[in-house]
Amino acid sequence: MTQHAPLIIDIAGLSLTKTDRQRLKHPLVGGLILFARNWQDRAQLTALCADIKKVRRDLLICVDHEGGRVQRFKTDGFTHLPPMRALGEMWLKQPMEATHAATACGYVLGAELRACGVDLSFTPVLDLDYGESSVIGDRAFARDPRVVSLLAKGLMQGLLQSGMANCGKHFPGHGFVKADSHTDIPVDKRSLKAILADDAAPYRWLNNVTTSVMPAHVIYPKVDARPAGFSAKWLNDILRGQMGFGGAIFSDDLSMAGARLIDGREVSYTEAAVTALNAGCDLVLLCNQSVGDGKPVDELIAGLTEAQLKGQWQPLEASELRRLALLPQVPALEWDALMVSPAYMQAMDSVL
């Protein structure tokens, strides 16, 4: 039978419980995402990541660690990275210095996470900074898609040097809408032509260096009635077909309000996951549902198992290969060795 482990789940605490281990052993679970609640210090994080890999070597350990206000680990030696807008502002004065700094930030970000055992950070944000979106805000590099693409490429280069893959988000663009998709469903009424010429352009220009993409929980009614992450038109026809993207596609968090409304009705996590997978996502995230009794996580695992048995979604070998390709291919330096390595010390000189 074709293998495919599309679920990215989370854990409640600082170490694995017996229940966590059981969930992570499930063949449909492909990885987990860490949050600030899973962090105490570097020793604890390193031990946790090692423990996760003992459960299954192939589990993908992810985190949202972009710099600025979205950085889960900030103490015990972790570098405080700037918000990406700071690089965009630097670009206006010193463009070449800014691209150099972007690469340094990417290297430091990736190398520090990898030294503790984390495989992937969901970065960089490729959204354009229209000054409208509170949820994107200073997470975006700039308003100009060319500047966004060049700085993001620099950051991706640094991640690559550290041995880490990358994730461009939120396709085809979340910056134009005001509403926060964690709580509402943003609607972007522009034409496909306008979106492709502007917001989605970085995905086309960077498709040969982007290893994964996360779509926006935004509806673009001139293109499809469904949010981009549930739209085969956006994911298969446009992102894969027109733009030639061959990497992994992650759904954004299925527990967000913007993820649960499909075709005008609220759906279960299982239906949301099946819809996302059938639309072209390779991996689906369910965040912050392990806290408490964790029932939603177990229900999703059981629901997706049943959906597979009923033929409501088909596991894809290509999706599994894309997931495995996100795992680091080279060994990481341990923290103490990293701190004195020439590449790290040089990068630290250039981080803002």
**Residue 315 to residue 92: CA distance in whole angstroms:** 46
Token pair listed for 129 = 């900074």
Whether omega before 6 lies within 30 degrees of 0, making that bond cis, reads: no
129, 252, 253, 282: which one is catalytic? Answer: 252
CA 252-114-123 angle, 5° bins: 30
Residue 138 and residue 83 in contact, taking contact as beta carbons nearer than 8 Å: yes
**Helices 84-93 and 95-115 sit at what angle, rounded to 10 degrees?**
150
CA 8-322-231 angle, 5° bins: 70
Strand locations in the chain, DSSP E?
Answer: 7-9, 29-34, 60-63, 65-67, 70-71, 120-121, 168-171, 212-215, 219-220, 224-227, 248-249, 261-262, 265-266, 284-285
336 noted as active-site residue: no
**Residue 146 to residue 235: CA distance in whole angstroms:** 22
Residue 315 and residue 281 in contact, taking contact as beta carbons nearer than 8 Å: no
127 noted as active-site residue: no
Q: Give the largest CA-CA distance in the chain.
A: 58
182, 184, 237, 298: which one is catalytic? Answer: 182
Sign of CA dihedral 64, 4, 255, 242: positive
CA 226-229-233 angle, 5° bins: 65
**Residue 218 to residue 128: CA distance in whole angstroms:** 14
Strand locations in 76-221, DSSP E?
Answer: 120-121, 168-171, 212-215, 219-220
Q: Active-site positions?
A: 182, 252
